[in-house]
C-alpha cells in the first residue's frame, strides 16, 4: 500500500509539472504555441465566447440609423460602378466580372432603376420581380428603354435567383437588366441603404428611380423588406404612362359611362311606356294573364279618373321628352369622341 501511494503521488506531481510548464509556455510565447497547436488558424484571432444572454441580445439589437441623404429629383446619378449579370450566364460565364458605371448600365432615354433588399427574399421573389417581368413589355410600349434590378448580392446569387424564378414560375426571358452591388457602394451613394436588422444587415432599400439620360426624374421608396406600395409594377405603369394614353383611356371610360347611362334610360323608358304600366309598377309586380287584368272602369266625361289619366299622360310625355333629349345628347357626345379619335389618328 505504501508503494502504491508513492506511485500515485509521483504521477500527480509529474502531471502538475507538465501542465504548469505548458501554461508558462503559452503565456511566454503565444505565437509559437499557436503555430504548433493550430497552424491553420494563426492568422485569425480567437472569437470570445458569448453567453446565452449575449446571443439573445444580439438578435434583438435595434436597427442602426443611417443618416445618409437620399438622392433628389433633378440630381445626376453618382459615378459608381456595378457588376452586370450576363443573360443566361453559366458558372464559367460568371467567372469574369463585367463592371459598368451605373449611367452606362442604364443607357440613354427613359429607364427605371429598381432596388430590392435581396435575392430570394419573400416579397422580392413572390411579388416584386414577377410583376416587373410581366409588365416589361407594356413599360417598353410606354417608352421605357431599360428596366434594371439591383440588389446587394454578388453576381452568382443574382444569376441563380433569376434562373430559379424562370424555371419554377415559368416566366420566359425578359428585357430586364440585373445588376450586382455586392459592396453596397451604389445604394450608399444614392442614400437608399438601410440596416434591416440582425442576420440581414445593410441592404438596399426597396426603391424605384425613373432616370432620363442619367438624370433622376422620379423617386419612390417603400420602407422595410415586406412593404410594396409605390415601387411595384402597377405603380411604375402609372408613372410611365404617356399623357396621350391617359387621355385615350379617360375618353373610353367616358364613352362607356355615356353608353351605360343611355342603356339605363332606354330600359326605363320601355318599362314606363309599355302597355299596362302605371307609376310604381315593376316588371315583377305587373299582372300576368287574363285573370289578372283589371275590369274596365266606366268613367263619365269630366270625372276625376279622366283628370288623373290626363295628368298621367302629360307626365309621361314630359318624361319621354327628357329621355329623348338625354339620348340625343349621349349620341352627340359619342359621335364627337369618335370624330376626335379619328382626327388624332
What is the C-alpha separation between 100 and 210, in angstroms, rounded? 19
Q: Give the percent of the chain with pLDDT over 90.
A: 40
What per-residue confidence (pLDDT) applies to 8?
A: 65
Range picked from 29-33, 36-40, 159-163, 309-313 for highest mean pLDDT: 159-163
- Locate 51 and state its grid cell: 453567453
User: Which grid cell is 312?
Assistant: 298621367
Catalytic residue among 77, 102, 119, 124: 124
Query: With 0-12 CB in 10 A as exposed, 13-18 as middle and 19+ as buried, what is 231?
Result: buried
| Tens-digit pLDDT profile for residues 114-129 | 999 999 999 999 999 9
Q: What is the pLDDT of residue 31?
A: 45
Q: Is 168 an annotated catalytic residue? A: no
pLDDT at residue 17, rounded to an integer: 73
State the average pLDDT for the chain. 77
252 vs 241, more confident: 241
**pLDDT beyond 50 at 110:** yes
Average pLDDT value for residue range 7-35: 59
Res. 325 pLDDT band, cuts 50 70 90: confident
Residue 143: strand, helix, or coil: coil
At 140, the pLDDT band (50, 70, 90 cuts) reads very high
H helix intervals, the chain: 2-28, 30-37, 52-59, 102-106, 122-123, 129-141, 155-169, 185-190, 233-240, 243-273, 304-344
Burial of 323 (0-12, 13-18, 19+ CB in 10 A): middle
Q: Residue 203: which pLDDT band, with cuts at 50, 70 and 90? A: very high
The predicted structure's pLDDT at residue 111: 97
Tell me the HSE value of 16 on the side-chain side, using a 13 A CA sphere. Answer: 6
Residue 138 pLDDT > 90: yes
pTM value?
0.59
Angle (deg, nearest 10), helices 30-37 and 2-28: 110
Amino acid at each position: 500500500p505504501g508503494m502504491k501511494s508513492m506511485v500515485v503521488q509521483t504521477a500527480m506531481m509529474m502531471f502538475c509539472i507538465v501542465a504548469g510548464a505548458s501554461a508558462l509556455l503559452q503565456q511566454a510565447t503565444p505565437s509559437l504555441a499557436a503555430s504548433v497547436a493550430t497552424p491553420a488558424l494563426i492568422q485569425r484571432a480567437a472569437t470570445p465566447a458569448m453567453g446565452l444572454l449575449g446571443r439573445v441580445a444580439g438578435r434583438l439589437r435595434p436597427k442602426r440609423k443611417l443618416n445618409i441623404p437620399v438622392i433628389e429629383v433633378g440630381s445626376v446619378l453618382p459615378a459608381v460602378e456595378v457588376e452586370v449579370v450576363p443573360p443566361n450566364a453559366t458558372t464559367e460565364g460568371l467567372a469574369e466580372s463585367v463592371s459598368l458605371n451605373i449611367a452606362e448600365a442604364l443607357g440613354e432615354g427613359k429607364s427605371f432603376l429598381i432596388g430590392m433588399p435581396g435575392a430570394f427574399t419573400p416579397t422580392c421573389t413572390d411579388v416584386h420581380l414577377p410583376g416587373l417581368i410581366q409588365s416589361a413589355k407594356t413599360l417598353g410600349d410606354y417608352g421605357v428603354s431599360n428596366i434594371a434590378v439591383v440588389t446587394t448580392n454578388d453576381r452568382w446569387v443574382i444569376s441563380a435567383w433569376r434562373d430559379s424564378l424562370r424555371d419554377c414560375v415559368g416566366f420566359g426571358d425578359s428585357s430586364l437588366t440585373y445588376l450586382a452591388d455586392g459592396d453596397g457602394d451604389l445604394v450608399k451613394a444614392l442614400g437608399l441603404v438601410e440596416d434591416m436588422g440582425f442576420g440581414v444587415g445593410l441592404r438596399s432599400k426597396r426603391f424605384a428611380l425613373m432616370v432620363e439620360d442619367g438624370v433622376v426624374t422620379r423617386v419612390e421608396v417603400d420602407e422595410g423588406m415586406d412593404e410594396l406600395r409605390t415601387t411595384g409594377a402597377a405603380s411604375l405603369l402609372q408613372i410611365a404612362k404617356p399623357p396621350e394614353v391617359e387621355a385615350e383611356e379617360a375618353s373610353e371610360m367616358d364613352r362607356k359611362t355615356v353608353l351605360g347611362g343611355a342603356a339605363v334610360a332606354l330600359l326605363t323608358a320601355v318599362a314606363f311606356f309599355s302597355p299596362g304600366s302605371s307609376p310604381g309598377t315593376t316588371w315583377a309586380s305587373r299582372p300576368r294573364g287574363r285573370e289578372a287584368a283589371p275590369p274596365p272602369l266606366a268613367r263619365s266625361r269630366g270625372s276625376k279618373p279622366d283628370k288623373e289619366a290626363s295628368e298621367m299622360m302629360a307626365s309621361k310625355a314630359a318624361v319621354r321628352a327628357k329621355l329623348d333629349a338625354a339620348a340625343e345628347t349621349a349620341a352627340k357626345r359619342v359621335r364627337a369622341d369618335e370624330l376626335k379619335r379619328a382626327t388624332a389618328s
